[in-house]
Structure 1
Amino acid sequence: MKVVDFLKQKRDVLSQHPFELKDFLSPSLRDYWLELVEKANNSHLGSLINQNSTASNDDAVDAPVEVKTEVKSATKPTSEEVVAETEKEPKKPKIEMHPEAEKLMNELNETLGEVIHVGKWLTVDQERINAFADVTEDHQWIHTDPERAAAESPFKTTIAHGFLTLSLLSVLTDSVDPENQKFPTAKMTVNVGLNKVRFPYPVKSDNRVRASTKIQSVTPIKRGLEIVQELTIEIEGVRRPGCVAESVIRLMF
């Protein structure tokens, strides 16, 4: 049997029974049936079925059955559906904060972007530079040979290693003095690392330097806080800084 003849026969049967086929279908099959009917009515197949039906049933008195369709409109999910979908996502465990950690976090969040600490001046002399050269085995003449530096260096004197300047951040920010700690309520400070470091201008021998601190962000972690801070080493009498670093530390309570 041809598909057209089959559909025509089914249409004749439906025209003699005043019910809708979709009423006997399950909800899932009903959606497919309605979609099929809608596509058939809007396609060449639908018009072909109508033409064959009219040509072969000129004496029929029954009017053609109008198949009702229900088109589901796209709707926004309800609040219950949103909640149900959200509950499927794994929830992050809530961090129980130490009272002192929570207090410090609130205080630091009120000072974001502001200078919260300025350290004392420290002299970077040739003896310190030579000691750092011995430890790192970096004895380049620009650091350790004052006579040659005076004659050949554009700075006319020796300069500190960039890493020496960077290593002074701990003492310049009062992070290693037990009598003058920057975060006294914390039991321990751990250096996690640096996001970025720049040396805009070299520190010359016998320059005095000091560091200032700005808090960029404070994040609660297990048993403490993670703090991102901007540290700037100022050179006395020089407009450009000797070092600018974005440091990440963790305070344990």
Structure 2
Amino acid sequence: MNPVIIRSFEEFEKYNGKEIGTSDYFKISQDRINLFGDATNDHQWIHTDPERAKSEGAFGNTIAHGYLTLSIVPFLWEQIVKVENLKMMINYGIESLRFAQAVTVDSEVRLHAKLKNIANLRGTVKAEVEVKLEIKDQRKPAFTGVLVFLYHFN
């Protein structure tokens, strides 16, 4: 998949109110879940103990941390949009984030993005992007929300 190339506010603005694209699928392995647990000190058994999760858990297997699924957004976003000619980009906020469904181990997820709104605020571009993390072969997404980025173009 080739990302959309954006080099200015004017190029970004053309997508206002429109679908931008969808990333490739990305597999969530147990190793990745365990590494995230180590990085965040969140070793709750529903994430890191496959045997217990199978016998006692509500999902039949371990599940990814919600924040793990959120943390892969920059990687997936760069598959959708490549912003060039930048001085700086800032992750400004997240609005209306809802975790809708657990992501079980070895599931594949992909990011779907739509530009909800864009504004040029005296040289700083504020982009509000509606996102949905889709789970392969599942009807409900892992999460939905609006990501807010600030872009400072050269």
Highest RCO, 1 vs 2 (Cα 8 Å, sep ≥ 6)? 2
Within 5 Å, which residues of 2 pair with 1:1-253? 101-109=8-16, 112=17, 114-174=18-78, 181-253=81-153
Q: 1:157 to 1:235 in 2, by over 3 A?
A: same
> Quick check: which has more Rg, 1 or 2?
1
Counterpart amino acid of residue 119 in structure 2: T
* Contact 1:173/1:211 (<8 A) preserved: yes
How large is the RMSD of aligned CA atoms in angstroms?
1.7
Deviation at 1:186, TM superposition (A): 3.7
Deviation of the 1:223 alpha carbon: 2.3
Q: Is the 8 A contact 2:96 2:145 kept in 1?
A: yes
State the shift of 1:221 in Å: 1.6
State TM-score, norm by structure 1.
0.55
Q: Which runs of 5+ in 2 are unaligned?
A: 1-6
Query: Which has more strand, going by share of residues?
Result: 2
Residue of structure 2 equivalent to 1:36: none
Gaps of 5+ in 1: 1-99
Q: 1:102 to 1:124 in 2, by over 3 A?
A: closer
CA distance, structure 1, for counterparts of residue 69 and residue 130 of structure 2: 15
Deviation at 1:224, TM superposition (A): 2.8
Q: Equivalents in 1 of 2:104, 2:20: separation in Å? A: 27
Q: How many residue pairs align between the two structures?
A: 147
